[in-house]
Amino acid sequence: MKGRRIKILRQIILVGTAVYLFPLYSSAAPITSDMWTLQRTISRAIFIAPELKIAQATVRSHRGDVERAGAWPNPSFSIRVQNDIKQQEGQNGYTLDQFSLAQPLPLWRLSYQRRVAQQGMRVAQIGSIQVRYNIEASAAKLFLALQVSHEKLRVAIQQAAFTHKLIDLLQGPTKASGIVRYVSQLEGARLQLLNETAEQNADTARNNYQESLHMFRDSLLLPPNESIRLPSIQPITVPKPLRRLLQQLDAHAVSLRQLRHQVQAAKAGVGLQRVRRFSDPVLTFIREKNVGSNNQEFTFNGIMLSVSLPLWNQNHGNIEKAQAQVARTKAQIEAIRRGLTLRLRQDYMRMQHLLTQSHHVEQDILPSARQVLDNTKRNYAVGAVNTLVMIDAYNTYFNARVHYLDLLFRGHQRSIDLSQMLGQSMLFNGGVGRSRD
């Protein structure tokens, strides 16, 4: 008796969940204010991301380096007080007899310093873009996992509802013919096993969806009362031709863009180390008091220019180090470009395979499997086919639906990875989770 109550309660829960979920996946369901789309998910993830704030602070720090790199060094001012003049005049006391103003002249190094700092700031700016793309990709995969788990829950609930209807069908006469389908004890056991398996699958799918939902809420810092409604998952977006993607990769891949600016910074660093063979010349203005032969004070002015002579240290070591940095960064560009190109070609090939498989399942397998299931159900109700044929048609249809969702999941994951690799923002490209018109 207790087991029967549990079964009835489980059926009530399944039916209630089906009633709740069906409007969410209706093709005519409007996108309301509480509908969580891909764009809304990414916008929320960017808004709360501390990583992006760290990257932006790093950019501001480099902006300060640019300002400092272009600033002239401060002048130095010195004075001299001594008692020499008073002694020559036969008096006691001290006299301010000299002051000087020295100004270093950065005639060559400022332009190189500024160029190095500017390229460093550009690297930091592109790094912040990479952080943003990483946040977008993580949010998109989080949203995709929630969508797929939701869709699989819907399929599992429909499976359980189908088995319930099948058992109910066998417990009374059909409306069309009034025939009561005779079921042997073995066939009845098979149907009960099928029903229990469907209920267990529904429980598992519900748990997976709840885990994904909690992860979604926690990752986006959503309040517990935030309504989560999802649009239907869409077919895989067809990518551009591979030739165009390779061109886009070379032009917009974030890692390559960063390294190109690092090359420019390293080249400017070579020039900076060359001009640093000479220290900044220092121009000094001097004003000094003295005592003449007739013990009369007089004042004279002078200008002094100081330059360093690179006789023993010509900074060859730092120049060679800077040149090696240029060569190393160029080699890194080639290595990363080769790796990204290989990865792009492989992902593109897998994307094409997933597109072909998902299209075949959607256009050919699912409609045929549904038709076979409907026909088999009608024939089974009047005893034209046995239970094994009914179970086979049932498994074929629902397994095909789950397989189709798996293909969509993998295909959209590839699409997210491609967008991240190509330096594309998913906020404006659509793709995963686009709502139907």
Encode the chain in three state secondary structure.
Answer: CHHHHHHHHHHHHHHHHHHHHHHHHCCCCCCCCCECCHHHHHHHHHHHCHHHHHHHHHHHHHHHHHHHHCCCCCCEEEEEEECHHHHHCCCCCCEEEEEEEEEECCCCHHHHHHHHHHHHHHHHHHHHHHHHHHHHHHHHHHHHHHHHHHHHHHHHHHHHHHHHHHHHHHCCCCCCCCCCCCCCHHHHHHHHHHHHHHHHHHHHHHHHHHHHHHHHHHHHCCCCCCCCECCCCCCCCCCCCHHHHHHHHHHHCHHHHHHHHHHHHHHHHHHHHHHCCCCCCEEEEEEEEEECCCCCEEEEEEEEEECCCCCCCCCHHHHHHHHHHHHHHHHHHHHHHHHHHHHHHHHHHHHHHHHHHHHHHHHHHHHHHHHHHHHHHHHHHCCCCCHHHHHHHHHHHHHHHHHHHHHHHHHHHHHHHHHHHHCCCHHHHCCCCCCCC
Structure tokens at 225: 């009362």
Contacts with 258 (C-beta within 8 Å, 6 or more apart), sequence order? 123, 126, 127, 130
Q: How many CB atoms lie under 10 A from the CB of residue 70?
A: 15
Q: What is the rounded distance in angstroms from the CA atom of residue 417 to the CA atom of residue 354?
A: 14
Counting as low any pLDDT under 50, the low residues of the chain are 1-32, 174-176, 430-437
What is the model's pLDDT at position 256? 94
User: Edge-to-edge strands of the sheet including 95-104?
Assistant: 76-82, 95-104, 282-291, 297-306
Q: What is the rounded distance in angstroms from the CA atom of residue 388 to the CA atom of residue 400?
A: 18
Provide the domain limits for residue 228. 2-70+118-267+335-429
Beta strand 95-104 with 76-82 is: antiparallel
Contacts with 26 (C-beta within 8 Å, 6 or more apart), sequence order? none
What is the model's pLDDT at position 277? 87
Asked whether the beta carbons of 266 and 326 are under 8 A apart, the reply is: yes
* Burial of residue 161 (number of CB atoms within 10 Å: 0-12, 13-18, 19+): middle
Q: Is residue 425 part of a domain?
A: yes
Q: What is the rounded distance in angstroms from the CA atom of residue 77 to the CA atom of residue 324?
A: 41
What is the model's pLDDT at position 343? 94
Q: Is residue 187 part of a domain?
A: yes
Q: Which residue has tokens 């330059």?
A: 307
Q: What is the rounded distance in angstroms from the CA atom of residue 178 to the CA atom of residue 173?
A: 5
Structural domain count, the chain:
1
Structure tokens at 185: 């004890």
Asked whether the beta carbons of 151 and 230 are under 8 A apart, the reply is: no
Q: Is residue 306 part of a domain?
A: no
What is the model's pLDDT at position 431? 42
Q: Is residue 434 part of a domain?
A: no
What is the model's pLDDT at position 86? 66
What is the model's pLDDT at position 383? 79
Name beta bridge partners: 298. Answer: 290
Q: Is residue 327 part of a domain?
A: no
Q: Is residue 298 part of a domain?
A: no
Q: Is residue 377 part of a domain?
A: yes
Q: Is residue 206 part of a domain?
A: yes
Asked whether the beta carbons of 315 and 274 are under 8 A apart, the reply is: yes
CATH of the domain at 382: 1.20.1600.10
